[in-house]
């Protein structure tokens, strides 16, 4: 299959389970970096702008997208995405997509060709402006579910459009230099010598943004564990915990280990860290990351502390609870998150977060510190959890480390793509 055929196939699989990664990895493993990048962009973009693309296709074709054959429906989506958002020559976008659909549904080639030609001159912005309802208009233009747009408007008011717009942007690639293996200054020299364009974070020196499209495996020290791919917002969870050498630290829901390994680096492998998770496969990945990054102060354990808490009460000086959540703050990295969320999922997550906090309270030493974080924009998983924590006995305290440049101060904070350029995260810090 050529790249567009693969993209169509991935999107057909996506429709079945609303997942991208497993299908992408399986169907592109034999492609070159360049072709994988093309397929990734066309698939992620089509999922990101699904509602807008379907609106436009239905307008020019007069046909309901839901009634189309899956391969035809998704061929039209990748074609519309190329025409609207990519710099692919128009004749190539149409011709190559028509050839792709022939692989699945030969008799649909003429239809796809005709729709493509109509899309070239279609002004989707002007057509969307005609939609009378505000929420339907905004949710179509930015391609989000109506219920998401309504609740974020209630939460964030005038910031709504900025939030939607920035969640639609491709997330930057940040790496955390692994100071257990290499000095920051030395690694920056390696990047320079390799001709890699990069930018050091303005106030977190070990965080580096890699510019342009780069094959991760081509970065210096990839095989040696010199870096870990991690967004600044994720790293902040470890920083704000303010871990100390010689202390006993618990990382709950730790896999695949981005924050666990960050904590280990911050204490220079001189702490007693226990990382727990309920997922065996993700724990295996965590163990591999520990080994690759040279972390030797972490013990891993498969357990669900809400059902079988194996630890003694008042055991830990520090607890990090980066809780399972809806993930609405990382939609720019996972555009499928627009379509696989629900209010019931948010409520389910809130129950789980509360249950984890209850157990974590028992395990924290009096005077100890717990850092709660979620990659979520939802108030139920952020501010409402703070109220719950205070009700069960936690006490507010201020962050030891403050990042006032990005508004992280006091005892809780939110960061956003449109404000801080990070993933959307919520943090709160407590003592007992």
364 in the same domain as 236: yes
* Rounded (10°) angle between helices 109-120 and 90-102: 160
How many Å is the Cα radius of gyration of the chain?
Answer: 23
Q: Are residues 43 and 147 in the same domain?
A: no
Catalytic annotation, pick one of 12, 297, 325, 375:
375
373 with 239, same domain: the answer is: yes
Q: Which of 64, 67, 223, 54 is nearest to 141 (CA)?
A: 54
Q: Which domain holds residue 396?
A: 232-431
Q: 3-class secondary structure for 243-289?
A: CCCCCEEEEECCCCCHHHHHHHHHCCCCCEEEEEECCHHHHHHHHHH
Q: Are residues 138 and 198 in the same domain?
A: no
131 and 137 Cβ atoms separated by less than 8 Å: yes
Sign of the CA dihedral with 87 first, then 331, 236, and 158 last: positive
How far apart are the C-alpha atoms of 276 and 306, rounded to whole Å? 12
pLDDT of residue 403: 86
Q: What pLDDT, in 10s, does the model give residues 22-54?
A: 999 999 999 999 999 999 999 999 999 999 999
Mapped onto helix, strand or coil, the DSSP state of residue 369 is: strand
Q: Are residues 161 and 177 in the same domain?
A: no
CATH of the domain at 23: 1.10.940.10
One domain, residues 152 and 183: no
122: left (phi over 0), alpha (psi -120 to 50) or beta: beta
| pLDDT < 70 positions in the chain | none
Q: In total, how many domains does the chain have?
A: 4
Per-residue confidence (pLDDT) for residue 405, from 0 to 100: 82
- Based on the fold, state whether residues 299 and 416 are members of the same structural domain: yes
Residues 142 and 74 in one domain: no
Note whether 269 and 144 are same-domain residues.
no
Peptide bond into 320 cis (omega under 30): no
Extract the annotated binding site: 253-259, 277, 304, 322
Rounded distance between C-alpha atoms, residue 195 and residue 191, angstroms: 6
Decide which of 193, 212, 229 is a domain's last residue.
229
Q: Are residues 255 and 326 in the same domain?
A: yes
Q: What is the CATH number of the domain that holds 198?
A: 3.30.70.1170
Chain center to CA of 409 = 24
Which of 167, 194, 219 delimits the end of a domain?
167
> Which CATH number characterizes residue 413's domain?
3.40.50.150
Residues 408/183, Cβ–Cβ less than 8 Å = no
DSSP 208: E
Structure tokens at 71: 């391969």
Q: Counting beta carbons within 10 angstroms of the beta carbon of residue 395, is it exposed (0 to 12), middle (13 to 18) or buried (19 or more)?
A: exposed
Calpha distance 317→263 (Å, rounded): 13
Residue 355 belongs to what H/E stretch?
A: helix 343-363
Do residues 224 and 237 both lie within one domain? Answer: no
- Sign of the torsion angle spanned by Cα atoms 214, 165, 236, 366: negative
- CA distances 60 to 132, 278, 372, Å, are 20, 48, 48
Place of tokens 């006995």: 393
DSSP 8-state class, residue 373:
E
> Could you say which DSSP state residue 214 is in?
-
* Residue at which a domain ends, from 143, 167, 191: 167
Q: Is residue 16 exposed (0-12), middle (13-18) or buried (19+ Cβ within 10 Å)?
A: exposed
Residue 38 host element (H or E): helix 33-48
How far, rounded to the nearest angstrom, does the alpha carbon of residue 41 sit from its chain's CA centroid? 16
Angstrom distance (rounded) from CA 186 to CA 92: 44
Q: Check residue 407 and give its pLDDT.
A: 84
Binding-site residues for S-adenosyl-L-methionine: 253-259, 277, 304, 322
Token readout for 167 is 């969640």
Give the model's pLDDT for residue 119. 98
375 among known catalytic residues: yes
Q: Are residues 278 and 345 in the same domain?
A: yes
């Amino acid at each position: 299959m050529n790249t567009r055929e693969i993209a169509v196939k991935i999107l057909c699989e996506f429709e079945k389970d609303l997942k991208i990664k497993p299908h992408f990895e399986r169907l592109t493993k034999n492609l070159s970096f360049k072709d994988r990048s093309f397929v990734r962009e066309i698939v992620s973009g089509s999922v990101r702008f699904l509602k807008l693309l379907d609106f436009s296709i239905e307008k020019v074709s007069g046909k309901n997208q839901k009634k189309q054959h899956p391969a035809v429906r998704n061929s039209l989506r990748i074609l519309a995405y190329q025409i609207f958002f990519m710099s692919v020559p128009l004749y190539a976008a149409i011709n190559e997509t028509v050839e792709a659909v022939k692989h699945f549904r030969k008799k649909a080639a003429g239809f796809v060709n005709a729709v493509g030609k109509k899309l070239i001159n279609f002004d989707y912005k002007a057509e969307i402006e005609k939609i009378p309802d505000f929420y339907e208009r905004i949710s179509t233009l930015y391609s989000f579910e109506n219920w998401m747009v309504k609740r974020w408007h209630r939460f964030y008011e005038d910031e709504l459009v900025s939030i939607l717009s920035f969640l639609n942007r491709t997330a930057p690639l940040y790496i955390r230099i692994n100071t257990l293996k290499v000095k920051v200054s030395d690694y920056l020299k390696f990047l320079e010598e390799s001709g890699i364009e990069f930018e050091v974070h303005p106030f977190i020196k070990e965080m580096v943004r890699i510019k342009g499209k780069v094959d991760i495996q081509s970065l210096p020290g990839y095989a040696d564990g010199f870096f870990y791919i991690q967004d600044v917002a994720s790293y902040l969870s470890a920083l704000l915990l303010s871990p100390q050498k010689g202390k006993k630290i618990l990382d709950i829901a730790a896999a695949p280990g981005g924050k666990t390994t960050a904590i280990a680096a911050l204490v220079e492998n001189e702490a007693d860290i226990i990382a727990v998770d309920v997922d065996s496969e993700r724990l295996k990945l965590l163990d591999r990351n520990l080994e690759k990054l040279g972390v030797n102060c972490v013990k891993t354990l498969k357990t669900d502390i809400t059902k079988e808490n194996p630890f003694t009460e008042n055991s830990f000086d520090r607890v990090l609870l980066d809780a399972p959540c809806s993930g609405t703050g990382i939609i720019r990295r996972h555009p499928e998150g627009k379509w696989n969320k629900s209010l019931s999922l948010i409520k389910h997550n809130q129950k789980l977060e509360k249950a984890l906090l209850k157990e974590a309270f028992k395990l924290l030493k009096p005077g100890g510190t717990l850092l709660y974080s979620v990659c979520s924009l939802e108030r139920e998983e952020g501010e409402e959890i703070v109220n719950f924590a205070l009700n069960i006995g936690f006490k507010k305290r201020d962050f030891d480390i403050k990042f006032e440049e990005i508004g992280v101060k006091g005892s809780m904070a939110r960061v956003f793509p449109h404000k801080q350029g990070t993933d959307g995260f919520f943090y709160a810090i407590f003592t007992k």
